[in-house]
A and B are shown apart, each in its own frame.
Chain A
Amino acid sequence: MNERQPQVTEQDIHAYVDGRLEPARHSEVEAYLNESDEARAQAAGYRQIDQALHTLYDPVLDEPVPPHLGIPANQGQSYRHLGWRMAVMLATLVIGAIGGWFGRGGLDGQPAQTASLFSNAYMAHVVYSPEVRHPVEVDAEQEQHLVTWLSKRLQAPVRAPVLSELGYQLLGGRLLASEGEPAAQFMYENAQGNRLTLFIRRNRQQAGDTAFRFDRNNGIQGFYWIDGELGYALIGEADRQLISRAAHRVYEQLALH
């Protein structure tokens, strides 16, 4: 402690580990850590602790939520017997109401319908992409059956685009409820287990096609757009550029249809 330069404090080292320093300060502290073995060991130790906490407790995030935790006992009795996942599915019926949660509702002059594409896709991504055993309802081996079924339910030609050149393989897909109408989700996974989902639903508004629009929430980001009678959103926890390339691949392949 004594030989340490006075301008780097204990607090700085913690804030450094927690990623809470301004970029300039971050560099200063980093430079200091490079010089001081003791401080470096300290920072490394703190980081190890955080990593160990994640190793110990992150598996809880993937555990199925016990049904009794889904809806509090004194609320929504009619849904309780359906279990948590079904309750979430039902909730997507009213998801349009949560626009405010994204802090902006619709962008200026942007119809709420377009903006809600992202929020609907986001909800479906959050619910299904962490699934280990049942990420999809129909797997990629039955792709033909899957697209026929989804096209029938959406009453529009739906296809699962190929993203293998970006390293993502189709896992399969499922039917969703979105604001009272059927919607579809295709799920893709790369070799590292990272997943992207493509959300598709009918475009109910008169206005025509839109450009790609970007949105993000809680680390999940992606692009959404309207092309003819369908609205799309491609999202995931991946690099923005990669998702952008994937979204363009999706657009090209589906536009040819």
Chain B
Amino acid sequence: MSSFGQLISQQIPRLRRYARALLADPGTADDLVQDCLERAWSKQRLWRNEGDIRPWLFTIMHNIYVNDMRSLKRRPGFESLTAMAEPPGQERPESLLALQELERALHQLPDKQRQVLLLIGLEQFSYEEAASVLGIPLGTVMSRLFRARENLRTTLHGEQKSHLRRVK
């Protein structure tokens, strides 16, 4: 293994996190990561050894996702919640409910909005990096981000309201 392999290995956990959030199903998500790693290896010569390798890898993963994965039928994304280990004796039904609601809403977002939201809100890419990863103009990144956040906020807000007695 080379230093290139080293660089890639380091990024695997974050590629997996993004893929999991994007696809919900862990198995499909890891398949996407696997494809991405193989593609990255084969394109190794194209990586100019400068700066952060993360946007480069995420761009590769995004392209595979667009070309190969979007057609795959996805299972609804609630598995990660049931798989999430709850600390014993610390059940938080309300917050868990809100999380569940958010995860559902996230996977109901249009693909394009979800990608932007995850790259920026979860992976902390800059708007410019997200634009480059997704191959879209900066303005499009922003408008998708705004819509994604407003969508989720409305969902969550509605959810909270319906679960709280009105105190006003």
Give chain A's interface residues, CB within 8 Å of chain B.
10-11, 14-15, 18, 20, 42, 45-46, 48-50, 52-63, 65-66, 68-76, 79, 84, 87-88, 90-92, 94-95, 97-98, 100-101, 103, 123, 126
Given known pairs A10-B146, A14-B142, A76-B5, the reply for A61 and B99 (CB within 8 Å) is no
A53 touches B6 (CB 8 A): no
Q: Which of A15, A57, A58, A90 counts the most chain B CB atoms within 10 A?
A: A57
Kindly state the separation between the CA atoms of A74 and B43 in the bound complex, as whole angstroms. Answer: 13
* Across-interface contacts of A84 in B (CB, < 8 A): 9, 12
Restricting to B27-77, which residues have a CB under 8 Å from any CB of A? 30, 33-34, 37-38, 40-42, 49-51
B9 touches A87 (CB 8 A): yes
DSSP majority for the B interface? helix
A53 touches B3 (CB 8 A): no
B146 touches A14 (CB 8 A): yes
B2 touches A94 (CB 8 A): yes
Given known pairs A14-B142, A60-B13, A91-B9, the reply for A50 and B2 (CB within 8 Å) is no
> Smallest Cβ distance from B143 to chain A, in angstroms?
9
A53 touches B21 (CB 8 A): yes
B9 touches A56 (CB 8 A): no
> Smallest Cβ distance from A20 to chain B, in angstroms?
7
A71 touches B21 (CB 8 A): no
Kindly state the separation between the CA atoms of A129 and B132 in the bound complex, as whole angstroms. Answer: 32
* Across-interface contacts of A53 in B (CB, < 8 A): 21, 102, 106, 117-118, 121-122
Instruction: List 4 A-B pairs, minimum CB-CB distance, nearest first.
Output: A45-B153, A98-B3, A60-B17, A72-B38
A42 touches B13 (CB 8 A): no
A58 touches B12 (CB 8 A): no
A14 touches B99 (CB 8 A): no
Q: Name the one of B5, B37, B120, B152 contacting A69, with C-beta atoms under 8 angstroms.
A: B37
A103 touches B3 (CB 8 A): no
Given known pairs A48-B156, A103-B50, the reply for A58 and B17 (CB within 8 Å) is yes
A52 touches B2 (CB 8 A): no
Restricting to B101-138, which residues have a CB under 8 Å from any CB of A? 102-103, 106, 117-118, 120-122, 126-127
Kindly state the separation between the CA atoms of A66 and B106 in the bound complex, as whole angstroms. Answer: 26
A91 touches B37 (CB 8 A): no
